[in-house]
Structure 1
């Protein structure tokens, strides 16, 4: 199983929307953890506004940690179902509560690793790099970190400004920079994934179509149109499953003993497991711009 963290460098490239669409189309059991300290419970306010079951989510876990009632199993008790096989750990409803999460991030990173072993993939919405109270321990523990960026010059320049520090942090404090990759939203507006990768010296793991109509279903809870399941957004998200799986397999070979590598080789493995039960815990793992200007973003 795997942990995938999505993060942005600046602006609003669509981290939450992409993380939610990725979770809902993921072929295995998956938990979406809304860990953006400044998001204001974006998923429940948008896509999840009609959900009948609501949990405290992160703030409930923070209270448990504060009162000495923390356990890895308590993470699952604060989740809520999105579908039968996909669950949500809601984020904060008030950004002023973000400071209370600082002691929680490392514990949560260990708990997510335990969920992996229990047959649940974890997809983390980590928000924007450089924010106060950012969940850096989650990025350091993740198998794959996807930096989302639009394909225009300001977005590429913003990604470049953050990449060196992110790469250095993963090298010094995390599992290494080999799991760092780009996820390009709106490729060809105007630059291609290949051009962006060459400029930033980071591989592109996948691209997501710029499709505002379909994105509004996840961002603001709009009613899906009749062709939503075949929208360019969902087609591109599903197309990203295989390259992400290949990257996860490579990371498994780097990070895990041979006996556990098979856990990520079958994207539909463990489909019959019951996600409503807490997975067993384990020990924590120790104007048009010329294309030449993309290169200038490195300067």
Structure 2
């Protein structure tokens, strides 16, 4: 299954989009909230039910001990987004100042996420937040660049508005170059369109020079619930956003599969320490995760 990183140029709905994809996936799914600017799901959709003792920041210390310690900590810090435990969340940072401590953790976390995708069969989504570009390069602290470099697809979330496209034009060249030089290739870059505004998918793709992999309807009431929590809107479970998100997850998988076939590459095998403890990792995530 693919590992898909979602990013934006500015406030295009990455978190709501990532949550919709995770909740609507036809398979088990995992959302890693890796925005260096801080996570919002803990205080939003989860309504503060998960405290700061859980989440991404606590993986930094475990990573310094070794791969097995990191994988065990990863399992222990997952939360459930559904009662059955098929939708999992790694909650994000509670303070942007914590981001610097994760600089050396990102590559090891990428390994764990690929284990969850390739061996545990999860659709894995990474909420990488807003791209930070410095001197034409991805910022080493304000963007989780190693996660983008290792992802099967990197989707820039955009809206069909002039403002969103203008902002996206400024980041696409730097992101494409970074994926070409340090990632798995510039063709990992795609677009996910939020259908707000006058521009249609083919126009957005032409304007930004990248393919629109999937599109989701603009549904502010459902997006607000996914972002801020509270009472779900009427008909939430049958909302166009969630229905289209399932289709989008299938389109993302198809795009990742096409890319793999075109490049004729096989995913790199996981480190033995990670592969050998996959069963324990899954058992811990089922038994020890907190419910959202």
Q: Does the TM-score normalized on the shorter chain lie above 0.5? A: yes
CA contact under 8 A between 1:54 and 1:80: conserved in structure 2?
A: no
Residue of structure 2 in register with 1:149 after alignment: 158
> What are the superposed Cα offsets for residues 22-76 of structure 1, whole Å, 9 maximum, x if unpaired?
101111111100000103x300110011646885211110122345684333322
CA contact under 8 A between 1:53 and 1:80: conserved in structure 2?
A: no
State whether structure 2 residue 119 is matched by structure 1 residue 118.
yes
Residue of structure 1 in register with 2:273 after alignment: none
Residue of structure 2 in register with 1:222 after alignment: 230
Residue of structure 2 in register with 1:89 after alignment: 90
CA contact under 8 A between 1:185 and 1:208: conserved in structure 2?
A: yes
State whether structure 2 residue 31 is matched by structure 1 residue 32.
yes
C-alpha distance in structure 1 between counterparts of 2:50 and 2:77, whole Å: 14
State whether structure 2 residue 226 is matched by structure 1 residue 252.
no
> What are the superposed Cα offsets for residues 109-149 of structure 1, whole Å, 9 maximum, x if unpaired?
12212222322232100001116431000000000111001
> What are the superposed Cα offsets for residues 9-28 of structure 1, whole Å, 9 maximum, x if unpaired?
12x11000110111011111
C-alpha displacement of 1:177 = 1.7
Residue of structure 2 in register with 1:277 after alignment: 283
The answer for unaligned runs of 5 or more in structure 1 is 261-272, 280-299
C-alpha distance in structure 2 between counterparts of 1:165 and 1:63, whole Å: 31
CA contact under 8 A between 2:25 and 2:123: conserved in structure 1?
A: no
C-alpha distance in structure 2 between counterparts of 1:73 and 1:275, whole Å: 6
> What are the superposed Cα offsets for residues 157-201 of structure 1, whole Å, 9 maximum, x if unpaired?
1111111111111111111122211011124x1111111111111
Give aligned pairs, total: 263
CA contact under 8 A between 1:47 and 1:222: conserved in structure 2?
A: yes
C-alpha distance in structure 2 between counterparts of 1:99 and 1:15, whole Å: 22
Residue of structure 1 in register with 2:174 after alignment: 165
CA contact under 8 A between 1:23 and 1:32: conserved in structure 2?
A: yes
176-185 vs 135-144, which deviates more?
A: 176-185
C-alpha distance in structure 1 between counterparts of 2:235 and 2:155, whole Å: 28
Residue of structure 2 in register with 1:284 after alignment: none
The answer for unaligned runs of 5 or more in structure 2 is 133-138, 270-278, 286-292
Tell me the C-alpha RMSD between the 2 structures: 2.4
Structure 1 residues 76, 165: closer, same or farther in 2, change over 3 A? same
C-alpha displacement of 1:244 = 1.3
Residue of structure 2 in register with 1:285 after alignment: none
Residue of structure 2 in register with 1:296 after alignment: none
Residue of structure 2 in register with 1:127 after alignment: 129
Residue of structure 2 in register with 1:191 after alignment: 199
2:215 is paired with a residue of what secondary structure?
A: strand
2:4 is paired with a residue of what secondary structure?
A: strand
Structure 1 residues 276, 226: closer, same or farther in 2, change over 3 A? farther
State whether structure 2 residue 59 is matched by structure 1 residue 61.
yes
